[in-house]
Structure 1
Amino acid sequence: MPRNPQEIKPPETASRIAEACTRCGTCVRRCAFLNKYGMPGDIARQVLTGDSTVDPYECSLCNLCAAVCPEGLAPGDLFLDRRRLAADQGLVDFKPYAQLLGYEKLGHSRLFAWYPPTPAKTVFFPGCTLPGTRPRITWKFFEALRECEPTTAMVLDCCHKPSHDLGRQSYFLDQFRDIRDRLLALGVERIVVACPNCHKVFRKYGDGLTVATVYEVLAQDQARITDKTALASPRTTVQITVHDPCPLRDQVGVHQAVRALLAARGYGIREMRDSGARTLCCGEGGAVGFKNPALAATWIEKRRAQAQGDRIITYCAGCTGFLDRAAPTSHLGDVLFEPEKAMRGRSQAAKTPMTYWNRLWLKRRLIRDA
Structure 2
Amino acid sequence: MIISDKTIEIVEKEQKCIGCNACMKGCPMLDRFCDSPKTLLKKLLDEKSFDYKLPYSCMQCGYCTKVCPVDVDLKHLFMELRKDTVNQTDGKLPKDLNTSNVAMHQKLSFTGLFSKKIQHLESDTVFFPGCALQAYSPDLVEKVYSYIRKTTKGAGYYNVCCAKPTKMMGKDSEFQKIYLGIDEEFKRKKVKRVITGCQNCYMTILSNSPDIEVISLWEYIDKSGVPAEAKNKYKMKKEEGLNTNKSEYSFVLHDPCPTRDVDSIHMAVRNIIADLGIEIDEMKYSKGRTLCCGAGGMVAITQNDIAKAHMRRRATEKDADYILTYCQECVESMRRGGSKSLHILDLIFLDDFLEVNQGNQSTLDKWKNRFIAKTARL
How many positions carry a matched residue from both structures? 357
Work out whether residues 103 and 166 of structure 2, in 8 Å CA contact, stay in contact via their aligned partners in 1: yes
Shift of the alpha carbon at 1:61?
0.9
Listed one character per residue, the Cα deviations across residues 39-78 of structure 1 (whole Å, up to 9, x for unaligned) are 3333222222225446211111111101111112211110
Taking structure 1 as reference, are residues 90 and 119 closer, same or farther at Cα in structure 2, changes over 3 Å only? farther
Q: How does 1:1-370 map to 2 (within 5 A)?
A: 6-9=1-4, 11=7, 12-18=9-15, 20-38=16-34, 39-49=36-46, 50=48, 52-53=50-51, 55-90=54-89, 93=93, 95=95, 96-116=98-118, 120-222=123-225, 225=227, 230=230, 233-234=233-234, 235-236=237-238, 237=247, 238-325=249-336, 326-338=338-350, 340=352, 342-343=353-354, 345-346=356-357, 350-366=361-377
Shift of the alpha carbon at 1:207?
2.2
Taking structure 1 as reference, are residues 276 and 339 closer, same or farther at Cα in structure 2, changes over 3 Å only? farther
Shift of the alpha carbon at 1:144?
1.2
SS of residue paired to 1:180: helix
SS of residue paired to 1:353: helix
Shift of the alpha carbon at 1:308?
2.1
Work out whether residues 164 and 204 of structure 2, in 8 Å CA contact, stay in contact via their aligned partners in 1: yes
Taking structure 1 as reference, are residues 17 and 28 closer, same or farther at Cα in structure 2, changes over 3 Å only? same
Shift of the alpha carbon at 1:290?
2.1
SS of residue paired to 2:75: helix
Query: Following the alignment from structure 1 to structure 2, what is the Cα–Cα distance between the partners of residues 56 and 196?
Result: 22
What TM-score comes out, normalization by structure 1 length? 0.90
Taking structure 1 as reference, are residues 163 and 232 closer, same or farther at Cα in structure 2, changes over 3 Å only? farther
Listed one character per residue, the Cα deviations across residues 297-337 of structure 1 (whole Å, up to 9, x for unaligned) are 22212212211243101111111111112100111111211
Listed one character per residue, the Cα deviations across residues 216-240 of structure 1 (whole Å, up to 9, x for unaligned) are 10111116x455xx56733334421
2:241 maps to none
Query: Following the alignment from structure 1 to structure 2, what is the Cα–Cα distance between the partners of residues 88 and 64?
Result: 27
SS of residue paired to 1:115: strand
Query: Following the alignment from structure 2 to structure 1, what is the Cα–Cα distance between the partners of residues 318 and 154?
Result: 40
Unaligned runs of 5+ in 2: 239-246
Query: Following the alignment from structure 2 to structure 1, what is the Cα–Cα distance between the partners of residues 145 and 185?
Result: 20
Listed one character per residue, the Cα deviations across residues 125-161 of structure 1 (whole Å, up to 9, x for unaligned) are 1111111111111111111111210211110001111
Taking structure 1 as reference, are residues 127 and 170 closer, same or farther at Cα in structure 2, changes over 3 Å only? same
Of 77-86 and 346-355, more deviation after overlay is shown by 346-355
Percent pairwise identity: 27
Of 95-104 and 261-270, more deviation after overlay is shown by 95-104
AA aligned opposite 1:335: L
Query: Following the alignment from structure 1 to structure 2, what is the Cα–Cα distance between the partners of residues 75 and 93?
Result: 21
Query: Following the alignment from structure 2 to structure 1, what is the Cα–Cα distance between the partners of residues 219 and 293?
Result: 22
AA aligned opposite 2:347: V
Q: CA RMSD in A?
A: 2.1
Work out whether residues 129 and 141 of structure 2, in 8 Å CA contact, stay in contact via their aligned partners in 1: yes
Query: Following the alignment from structure 1 to structure 2, what is the Cα–Cα distance between the partners of residues 84 and 231?
Result: 47
What TM-score comes out, normalization by structure 2 length? 0.88
1:3 maps to none
Taking structure 1 as reference, are residues 121 and 44 closer, same or farther at Cα in structure 2, changes over 3 Å only? same
Shift of the alpha carbon at 1:106?
1.5
Taking structure 1 as reference, are residues 41 and 348 closer, same or farther at Cα in structure 2, changes over 3 Å only? closer
Taking structure 1 as reference, are residues 339 and 68 closer, same or farther at Cα in structure 2, changes over 3 Å only? farther
Work out whether residues 23 and 41 of structure 1, in 8 Å CA contact, stay in contact via their aligned partners in 2: yes
Query: Following the alignment from structure 1 to structure 2, what is the Cα–Cα distance between the partners of residues 56 and 265?
Result: 41
Of 159-168 and 99-108, more deviation after overlay is shown by 99-108
AA aligned opposite 2:233: S
Shift of the alpha carbon at 1:345?
4.6
Query: Following the alignment from structure 1 to structure 2, what is the Cα–Cα distance between the partners of residues 35 and 348?
Result: 31
Taking structure 1 as reference, are residues 347 and 151 closer, same or farther at Cα in structure 2, changes over 3 Å only? farther
